[in-house]
Amino acid sequence: MKVMSIKNILKCLFLFLFIKMGGQNVLSTQEAVELALEFNHGIKIAKNNVEIADNNADILNSEFLPRITGNAGATYNRDNTDAEFSNGNSTSLNGAESSRYNSSINVNYTLFDGLGRQYNYKILKEEKQLSELDARETIENTILQLFTVYYNVAQLSENSRSLEETLNISKDRLTRAEYQFAYGQTTKLGVLNAQVDINNDSINVINANNRLINSKRDLNVVLGNAISNTFEVDTLITFVMQLNKTELLEKMKSNNVTLLQLEKNLLISEYNIKSWRSDYLPTLGLTGSYGWNKNNNNAASFLLVSTSTGLSGGINLSWNLFDGGSTITRVKNAKINLENQQLQKEQIILNIERDFNNAWDDYQNKLTIYNIQEENILTSKNNFDRTQEKFRLGQVTSIEFRQAQLNLLLSKLSRNQAKYDAKLAELFVLQLSGEILNVSF
């Protein structure tokens, strides 16, 4: 039995405590990534595919090893035989019995097959590395999906708090309006307006909380259902500072997973062409066997019993001089397919560079919008505070107060949207440049 490492023990302990404590803990981004890497079903499948490719690339699947087979058999005969010998004697046998037994071990080994198996083995090695790139692509996409849902939960959490704050303000306004109506300082209309606004704010809170619960379920699906739905997320956003567009663009050209997959597919296609060219060359093989044979003959035979054992070996040469042109056709088509892949690579490079430039500009724009929204929050808060004070002094109407209240709420919701949009735009830039798995979450 393998002893669990300290790292695995701590991970299991963390998961146990998190699941037990539920909502008492805040699920950080780093913890969410660790849970996704451990429990996400798509990532598990990708890891299994890597293991399959690793098995395929083993020497046992390379055709470099000999083939050994064992054979054994037995036959029994009961015949009626009329026999006439060369000396003129004759005999007649009824129910004459005879039997034969044999066993052998045979070895076949290909010495040379036109280098086909060498290139096939290289193809298996490259396909293993390609499966690792496929797994990396799955992990990158899953991480981006994870943060899309995670930050949606974070945004909805902040939205819910802002809506609850608005509801509390409306409740205070209703209380004040009821006091003012009781002392004859306002009409019943002010109370009714406040009650209508409370109802609207309550509906907004209920809808926001429902969206938040659904979004948490979505996040738990990405995490492989590793935790309960009673958890909170971290709403503190930190941006990766000092991102350099030129450096990221160079990293994209050398580290983007799509481009790396194209390179592997091109190399596999080149090996395929060389493998098919091996059909032009002869195949040279060795054969060997060790066998045992025993015959129990009937009375009509010259030999009553014969037994033989022995070794045999040989060498064989096979050369397909002309197969009707199928090999020539396969090689020609493989070359055209390789050319198509090279053209496809050039097109994809152009597309990825375009996507990167678009993503970079989108990130810069959203970051600027977020900063503007942060400033707008201060302006809206200052405006609301002043309006609230004047409302208490009776210098503004309830309609003006409500408008200032809604302006503040809209500023908060817009700021939340801008904040998480900017962060997701940053992550998309990092994914295109192949750096999303190299940053600290």
CATH number at residue 209: 1.20.1600.10
Q: Is 12 part of a structural domain of the chain?
A: no
Does 375 reside within a domain? Answer: yes
Q: What is the pLDDT of residue 105?
A: 95
Q: Looking at residue 262, what is its pLDDT?
A: 95
In whole angstroms, what is the distance from residue 12 CA to residue 231 CA? 18
Q: Which single residue is written with the structure tokens 């969206």?
A: 211
Phi, psi dihedral angles at 260 (to 5 degrees): -65, -35
Cα dist. 131→13, 67, 215, 349, 389 in Å? 32, 29, 32, 21, 65
DSSP 253-278: HHH-HHHHHHHHHHHHHHHHHHHHHG
Say yes or no to pLDDT of 271 above 60: yes
Chain centroid, CA 71 distance in Å: 46
Beta bridge pairs of residue 23: none
- List 285's β-bridge partners, or say none: 110, 316
pLDDT in tens, 323-333: 889 999 999 99
Whether the predicted pLDDT of 265 surpasses 50: yes
Q: What was the pLDDT predicted at 301?
A: 67
pLDDT interval class at 153 (50, 70, 90): very high
Q: 152 and 300: one domain?
A: no
Range of the domain at 313: 71-112+284-318
- Per-residue b or e along 265-298, where b marks 16 or more CB atoms closer than 10 Å to that residue's CB: bbebbbbbbbbbbbbeeebebeebbeeeeebbbb
Give the confidence band of 299 by pLDDT, cuts at 50, 70, 90.
Answer: low
Residues 49 and 122 in one domain: yes
Give CA–CA dist 429/441, Å, rounded. 15
pLDDT at 2: 40
In a domain, 277, yes or no: yes
166 and 204, same domain (yes or no): yes
- The residue among 431 and 185 whose pLDDT is bigger is 431
Per-residue pLDDT reduced to its tens digit, 76-111: 888 777 777 667 677 777 877 888 899 999 999 999
For 311, the token pair is: 């070794």
261 exposure class (CB count in 10 Å sphere: 0-12, 13-18, 19+): middle
Helix (H, G, I), strand (E, B), or coil: what is residue 5?
Answer: coil
214 and 226 inside one domain: yes
Does residue 32 sit in the same domain as residue 134? yes
Judgement on whether residues 270 and 364 belong to the same structural domain of the protein:
yes
Tell me the residue length of the chain.
Answer: 441
* Mean pLDDT value of segment 283-308: 83
Q: CA nearest 408: which of 429, 393, 387?
A: 387
For residue 214, being part of any structural domain is answered with yes
289: enclosing H helix or E strand: strand 283-296
DSSP β-ladder status, 232-233 and 283-296: unpaired
C-alpha distance from residue 368 to each of 77, 144, 372, 374, 434 (Å): 96, 22, 6, 10, 24
Q: Is the pLDDT of residue 386 over 90?
A: yes
For residue 374, CA distances in Å to 6, 214, 371 come to 44, 28, 5
- What average pLDDT score do residues 329-355 get? 95
Give the pLDDT of residue 10: 42
